[in-house]
Amino acid sequence: MKQRTTTIKRDTNETQIELTLNLDGSGEYDIDTSIGFLNHMLELFAKHGLFDLTVKATGDVEYDDHHVIEDIGIVLGQAIYRAVGDKRGINRYGFFVLPMDEVLALCAVDLAGRYSYDDNYEPVREKVNDFPTEMMWHFFQQIALESKMNLHIQLLNPGRNEHHRLEGIFKSFARSLRIACSYDDRALDQLPSTKGKL
């Protein structure tokens, strides 16, 4: 199997981002986004997905952290799409139901080559530390759009704690994507679609 690793740089007037993703890693990470809670969530994503992930991001956070969070979502989605490659031999689908204390989070992924995103997350708090909770939707929407995946996130039990909700979402996404990207030993030479293309 070829190494499924990619590096993407994105420089705009608002943000400067460099991200390296290895889908076949061991969960190693080096994250610096200038947003502490997002650092923590991306570390969880790497660890639970067994992805090696490096993110260096700076931007105009003195105005707002919207641009940095959005652009990291864009770059991570692009990295997933590029690293997965032609998708021959992979599971394509992945889903995971994850208990995070009193929260129960479900995530389902289809690396379909088509974009769709939906969630039922309704934040109660405006922020968790330095992360604006309204940006959860935008972050994952950008990942789904740029990686051309179907992504569904549902809180089966929303629980009571905003940190637990977000942590459950990030962990369940990592586990779902890990399954979807993994190779199917019974179909290593096959594309998981009757269309002949994904």
Whole-number Å distance between alpha carbons of 14 and 73: 15
Whole-model pTM over 0.95: yes
User: What is the predicted pLDDT for the residue at 1?
Assistant: 66
Per-residue model confidence as pLDDT tens digits over 155-176:
999 999 999 999 999 999 999 9
Mean pLDDT of 3-20: 95
Question: Which pLDDT value is given to residue 64?
Answer: 73
The residues that bridge with 16 in the sheet, in sequence order, are 11, 58
Mean pLDDT of 98-114: 98
Percent of the chain with pLDDT over 70: 99
**pLDDT top residue among 65 and 6:** 6
pLDDT band at residue 179 under the 50/70/90 scheme? very high
Class of domain 5-181 (CATH, top level): alpha beta
CA 114 to centroid of chain Cα atoms: 16
Share above pLDDT 90 across residues of the chain, in percent, rounded to a whole number: 92
Q: Going by C-beta distance under 8 Å and a sequence separation of 6 or more, which residues neighbour residue 175?
A: 48, 49, 94, 96, 98, 107
Q: Encoding tokens for residue 13?
A: 């007037």
- 53-104 pLDDT per residue, tens: 999 999 887 777 889 999 999 999 999 999 999 999 999 999 999 999 999 9
Enumerate the domain spans of the chain. 5-181
